Chain A
Amino acid sequence: TQLLEQSPQFLSIQEGENLTVYCNSSSVFSSLQWYRQEPGEGPVLLVTVVTGGEVKKLKRLTFQFGDARKDSSLHITAAQPGDTGLYLCARGSSASKIIFGSGTRLSIRP
């Protein structure tokens, strides 16, 4: 089974701090997606990374796909309370199925 391991599971930091969360696997992926899920809502796609070493920025969020395409990281600069949520990495397992990681639950304290 090609699992996606996310770390840390939980992270609580002060507003204004920086943070990095990780998504790792022993398998090579053709692409990897990051989603954010807020309480009572479905996952919302943030970004898809496709090329090894690729870096994508979404305002204060920076996503990186590892050179070997086995891992990815999400870095948030100057975290804000609005960044609070469950961050999920995910990959396509087949043409139709997405496999999700277990998620990092992020809490930003004002």
Chain B
Amino acid sequence: EPEVTQTPSHQVTQMGQEVILRCVPISNHLYFYWYRQILGQKVEFLVSFYNNEISEKSEIFDDQFSVERPDGSNFTLKIRSTKLEDSAMYFCASSYFIDSNQPQHFGDGTRLSIL
């Protein structure tokens, strides 16, 4: 079964450094998402992306965050100047339709640790 893949599985970065998290969504999916999960807390929506544009973003997704689909397969999340509180699991997801009843398929996440 096709799956969403994320790399790296674990990223350790010094505070203030830039980090790029990478995702390869399922190949025929059109809608892409990033979520994060701080240790012991809920999975939280960050951003959705369609047709090379952000569709929706949360208040967490401030100017330090950006997303890009640089080619036909990758979907990236960049954090420009990382803070300690950015430490979390970051999940990429994709779906074929954009509909609140349609399933989003999640990757296994990147654990980001900011020192």
Which residue numbers of A lie inside 8 Å of B, CB to CB?
Answer: 30-31, 33, 37, 40-45, 48, 50, 88, 91-103
B100-A91 in contact (CB<8A) = yes
Distance (Å) between the CB of B55 and the closest chain A CB? 5
Residues of chain B from 17 to 68 with CB closer than 8 A to chain A in the complex: 31, 33, 35, 41-45, 48, 50, 55-56, 58
- 12 A-B residue pairs with CB within 8 Å: A30-B100, A37-B43, A48-B101, A50-B101, A93-B45, A94-B100, A96-B31, A96-B33, A96-B55, A96-B98, A101-B42, A102-B42
Across the interface, A92 reaches (CB within 8 A) one of B42, B101, B108, B109, namely: B101
List of A residues within 8 angstroms of B43 by Cβ: 37, 43, 88, 100
Query: How many angstroms from the CA of A50 to the CA of B33 in the assembled complex?
Result: 23
- Beyond the given A40-B108, A42-B4, A98-B104, could you list 13 further A-B residue pairs with CB under 8 A, ordered by the A residue number? A40-B109, A41-B108, A42-B93, A42-B107, A42-B108, A43-B43, A48-B101, A91-B100, A94-B56, A95-B99, A96-B33, A96-B56, A96-B98
With A and B bound together, what is the CA distance between A100 and B108 in angstroms?
17
**B101 and A31 contacting across the interface, CB-CB below 8 Å:** yes
Chain A, residue nearest B97 (CB): A95
Q: How far is the CB of A2 from chain B (nearest CB, A)?
A: 12
The binding surface of chain A is classed by DSSP as: loop
Q: How far is the CA of A10 from the CA of B91 in the complex (A)?
A: 23
Which of the residues A31, A44, A92, A101 comes within 8 Å of B106, measured between beta carbons? A44
| Complex contacts, A95 vs chain B, CB 8 Å | 55, 98-100
Within the assembled complex, what's the spacing in Å between the Cα atoms of A33 and B91? Answer: 17
